[in-house]
Amino acid sequence: MSRILIAEDNDAQREGLRVLLERAGFDVTAAPDGAEALEKLRASAFDLLLVDVWMPRLNGIELLAQLKNEPQKPKVIVMTADDTPETLLEAVREQAFQYISKPYDPKALVQMVKDTLNTAAHHPIEVVSALPTWVELLVPCEQGAGERVHGFLQKLKVDLPDEVRADVAKAFRELLSNAIEWGGKLDPEQKVRICFLHTSRFILYRITDPGTGFRWEEIDHAAVVNPPEHPLQHRRVRQQKGMRPGGFGILVAQQMADDVLYNETGNEVVLVKYLNAQPETDNE
């Protein structure tokens, strides 16, 4: 039975969360603040820590910082109503595994707990820049890392309609998955560098993988190179090569973003979505 520690200063929320997780089959211990939680973590091993941010004596971010020096560290899910970019990025910097906003859906939280516990030991996401307008991360090339990064970046506020924002997020997730799988070969010792820029006129993602890149004539397994008369030709190619179903990443990104640009070697891609009308071309 997985052992979970809850650090939450609100009595009603702490008790409700304890009951919810115990009913889901977990062994649950609770603490009313970060200082007591740290004592419990040093006294006993836990598989997962659910931590609020703003607590007396030792807040959630400070608790995460303390855990960096501990020999036994559980995975951490941060829970808070404070979803400002600064708080979110500090949680990432201090190696939070997941982040959920309050008020949360109980079913969604239980599922997140199960998914987190079922994920193999992970390498941390490194924060290079944590400015709200310039976020830069180093992401390990391992299964699930892309979804974690996508989940964090989805919570950064940008001025886009929900539908457009979802499209851009899907495009980013597809390109990041390509970088982790093809560029990084799913080797967690390798890193993908992600840069997210947010200005008043556009948002931009830059993804750089550690691989050698690709040439367009060599990716006949990708839907983006299918001839118009054979829009699913890549499926047959993937089957012949023994590859998993898929191959739509670049095509999806091109359809959902305003600009998708690759560097010459093919190991770096930039995705742009304009927040307003694109700037007019100077024809003079």
pLDDT digits (tens), the chain, 284 positions: 899 999 999 999 999 999 999 999 999 999 999 999 999 999 999 999 999 999 989 999 999 999 887 877 899 999 988 767 778 888 888 888 888 888 889 999 999 999 999 987 678 889 899 887 899 999 999 888 888 888 777 777 666 777 878 888 888 988 999 899 989 999 999 999 999 998 889 999 999 999 999 887 777 777 777 777 877 788 787 787 787 767 777 888 888 899 999 999 999 999 999 987 544 555 54
> What pLDDT score was predicted for residue 281?
52
Q: What is the CATH number of domain 122-284?
A: 3.30.565.10
| Direct distance between the N- and C-terminal alpha carbons of the chain, in angstroms, rounded to an integer | 71
Task: Quickly list DSSP for 50-64.
Answer: EEESS-SSS-HHHHH
Region for 96 from its dihedrals, namely left if φ exceeds 0, alpha if ψ lies in -120 to 50, beta otherwise: beta
| Both tokens assigned to 61 | 């971010």
Angle at the Cα of 157 from the Cα atoms of 181 and 63, rounded to 5 degrees? 75
Looking at residue 180, its amino acid is I
- The span from the CA of 208 to the CA of 13, in Å, is 41
Question: Boundaries of CATH 3.30.565.10 in the chain?
Answer: 122-284
What is the reported pLDDT for 13? 94
CATH of domain 1-119: 3.40.50.2300
